[in-house]
Structure 1
Amino acid sequence: MTRPLLELRDLHKHFRLSGPPFAAKPLLRAVDGVDLDLMQGETLGLVGESGCGKSTLARTVIRLHQPSSGSIVFDGQEVGNLPERQLGGFRRRVQMIFQDPFASLNPRMSVGDLIAEPLTIARIGSEAGRRNKVAELLHRVGLPSDAAQRFAHEFSGGQRQRIGIARAIAFEPDLVICDEPISALDVSVQAQVVNMLEDLQAELGLTYLFITHDLSMVRHIADRIGVMYLGKIVELASSADLYRRPSHPYTRALLSAIPVPDPAAVRSVEPMQGEIPSPLDIPSGCRFRTRCPLATELCARVEPPLHDLGNGHVSACHFAGDLAAQASPRGVPQQERTQ
């Protein structure tokens, strides 16, 4: 059996917040026990509302945050407890595309210097070789070679994201973590960037952890999708299976909220109640119960485990089997490759 490229086991990331002197400091449980396997060459989508812990999970995986507890195993090596000085080799193989490309690009550096910077720091190749590498990377992401002499502020948002992608693949990594890479872009540009990411994956054999809140787009790119709520994975399935038989009330509500092109289309909308609770005060039992139309007294007492529904489909709901047997919420749009 093939070993996963990335394995997360009971991963936690908690933040101790400041408070009054001599008082107990509140604990924010941003990531609260995540188990995930990511296979070589696949794209795993991670979806959920803002504040559910997706970006914190990504930053913990790449070790921008030190995990509070749990295990991060990359290609058979435990990296969750490695000291900072030993992370160089790991970070060459794992790169990140950030949500805001402008904030992640130094405005004082030319595009060529920005892309070549990791190669320069690692002392890879000669100066002329790095210039050639930059030209090759710019071509891969659909930018002209003269872009190397310009600065980030001279480009549009979509072009800046392409620069960020070029920098992320400069090391020819195995895993690229895409943290909301299209959320700040126009819809037409989103499609172009996603199609480019798919082409790069095919050419370079990349593995993606693709974080987004856009469920219509993630269906297009992801092989499997994990649904995250208040720091935990509440459902995980193949892309096709998740859309065909969603088995968690949270997933069903997210899917039913996807806009459809036909305003007259009849939809089975399953609205959520209220707002997402604070990770400082997570509800007892099932953490979704305060917004769930199916919640019972059992949900308040017992936190549901991940139930195995077959074919790698798991769901953390006491009623997962019944929900999986029901039809998917009507009106979920079909998504094909956008030209």
Structure 2
Amino acid sequence: MTQPLLSLRNLKKHFHLPAPPFTQAPILRAVDGVDLDLMKGETLGLVGESGCGKSTLARTVIRLHEPTSGSLIFDGQDVGALPERQLPKFRRRVQMIFQDPYASLNPRMSVGELIAEPLEIAGVGTPAERRAKVSKLLDRVGLPTDAAARFAHEFSGGQRQRIGIARAIALEPDLVICDEPISALDVSVQAQVVNMLEDLQNELGLTYLFITHDLSMVRHISDRIGVMYLGKIVELAPSADLYHRPSHPYTRALLSAIPVPDPSVTRKIEPMQGEIPSALDIPTGCRFRTRCPLATELCARVEPPLVDIGGGHVSACHFARELADRPNEVSATSQQERTS
């Protein structure tokens, strides 16, 4: 069996917040026990509402946040236990594309300096070789060579994201974590950036952890999709299977809310009640039960484990098998039916 490039087991990241006088410090459970395998060369999409822990998980994987507990195995090595002095070697193989390209690019540095910076830190090549590498990277992401002498504020949002992508692939990493790289871009630019990421993956053999709110786009780019809620994966499946037979009420609610630009398509909305609970006070039992229309007394007592419902599709719901057999409520009426 092929060994995963990245393997997470019960990974947790908790933040201890300042405590009021004479009280115990509250604990924010941002990531609360994630099990995940990412195979070399695949794209794993990660979706969920704001505040569910997606970005914290990404930053914990790359060790920008220190994990609270659990194991983080990269290419067979436990990088969760690596001392600080050994992290640069690990980070050469794992890079990140941030959500806001402008905030992640130093405005005092030229584009050429920004892209060359990881090469300099890693001690790759001579200054002349690094300049040649920068020119090649700019061409690879669809920017002109003379962009190296300009500054980030002189470019559009889509062009700035291309600069961030060029910097992320400069060291030829194995894994690139894409933390909502298209959320701040226009729709037409989103498609261009996603297509470029796919081309780079095919050309360089990259592996992606792709975090996004856009359920339509993640279906296009991902081999598998994980759905995250309040710090945990509640459903994980091959992309087509997740959309064809969602088996968690949260996933079904998210999918039912996707806009369909076709008046002939009618969809039964499966709404969620209320807002996502605070990670400071996670509900007992199933953490989705406070918003779930199917919740029972069992859901309040017992937290459902991830169960395999076949074909690599796992779901954390007491009713997963029943929901998997229930078709996703989308129906299209033919032109003949509409006119008859």
Q: Pick the TM interval, shorter chain.
A: over 0.9
Partner of 2:86: 86
Instruction: Determine if contact 1:9/1:70 at 8 Å carries over to the other structure.
Output: yes
One-letter identity of the residue aligned with 1:303: E
Residues 195 and 331 of structure 1, relative CA distance in 2, 3 Å threshold: farther
Aligned match of 2:5: 5
Q: Which residue in the other structure is 1:76 paired with?
A: 76
Aligned residue runs from structure 1 range 101-116, under 5 A: 101-116=101-116
Shift of residue 123, structure 1, vs aligned partner: 1.5
Provide, for residues 11-33 of structure 1, a one-character-per-residue CA deviation record: whole Å limited to 9, x for no partner.
00000001213320100000000
2:239, 2:92 → 1: CA distance? 29
Other-structure match for 2:262:
262
How far, CA to CA, are the matches of 2:268 and 2:44 in structure 1?
27
Letter in 1 for 2:292: C
Please give the alpha-carbon distance, in whole angstroms, between the structure 1 residues aligned to 2:329 and 2:251.
10
Is 1:63 aligned with 2:63?
yes
In the alignment, structure 1 residue 19 sits paired with structure 2 residue 39: no
Paired residue secondary structure (1:116): helix
- Cα distance in 1 for partners of 2:53, 2:308 equals 23
Alignment of 1:1-339 (within 5 A): 1-263=1-263, 265-330=265-330
The residue identity in structure 2 corresponding to 1:295 is A
Contact 1:101 1:157 (8 Å CA) reproduced: yes
Q: CA deviation at 1:314?
A: 0.3
Question: Which residue identity lines up with residue 177 of structure 1 in the other structure?
Answer: I
Could you tell me how far 1:329 is from its partner in structure 2? 2.8
> Which runs of no fewer than 5 residues in structure 1 stay unpaired?
333-339
* Alpha-carbon separation, structure 2, partners of 1:76 and 1:331: 46
C-alpha distance after superposition, 1:204-238 (max 9, x if no partner): 00000000011000000000000000000000000
Tell me which amino acid in the other structure corresponds to 1:284: T
Q: Secondary structure at the match of 1:87?
A: helix
Change (3 A) 1:58 1:317: same
Counterpart-to-counterpart distance in 2, 1:2 and 1:215: 29
Displacement of 1:301 after TM fit?
Answer: 0.5
Residue of structure 1 equivalent to 2:336 = none
Alpha-carbon contact 1:255-1:329 (below 8 Å) kept: no
The alpha carbon displacement at 1:79 in A equals 0.3
Query: Are the aligned partners of 1:274 and 1:291 in contact in 2 as well (CA < 8 Å)?
Result: yes
Cα distance in 2 for partners of 1:84, 1:56 equals 19
The aligned amino acid for 1:320 is A
Tell me the alpha carbon deviations over residues 75-129 of structure 1, each in whole angstroms, 9 at most, x when there is no partner.
0000001121111111000000000000000000000000000111121101110
Q: How far 1:307 moved relative to its partner?
A: 1.1
Q: Is the 8 A contact 1:268 1:330 kept in 2?
A: yes
CA distance in 2: counterparts of 1:61 and 1:129, whole angstroms: 31
Q: Distance in 2 between matches of 1:128 and 1:50?
A: 44
- Separation (CA, whole Å) in 2 of partners of 1:89 and 1:201: 22
Q: Is the 8 A contact 1:248 1:320 kept in 2?
A: yes
CA distance in 2, matches of 1:262, 1:291: 29
Q: In the alignment, which residue of structure 2 is the partner of 1:335?
A: none
Deviation at 1:263, TM superposition (A): 4.1
Q: Is the 8 A contact 1:260 1:331 kept in 2?
A: no
- The residue type equivalent to 1:150 in the other structure is R
**So what's the TM-score if we normalise by structure 1?**
0.97
Specify the SS of the correspondent of 1:44. strand
Q: Partners in 2 of 1:59 and 1:297 — Cα distance?
A: 36
Q: Secondary structure at the match of 1:80?
A: helix
| TM-score normalised per structure 2 | 0.96
Note if contact 1:8-1:36 (Cα within 8 Å) is conserved in structure 2. Answer: yes
Q: Check 1:118–1:331 CA distance in 2 against 1; reply closer, same or farther (3 A cut).
A: farther
Output the CA distance in 2 between the equivalents of 1:122 and 1:232.
34
Q: How many residues align?
A: 332
Secondary structure at the residue paired with 1:34?
Answer: strand
Superposed CA RMSD in Å reads 0.9
Among the aligned pairs, what percent are the same residue?
Answer: 82
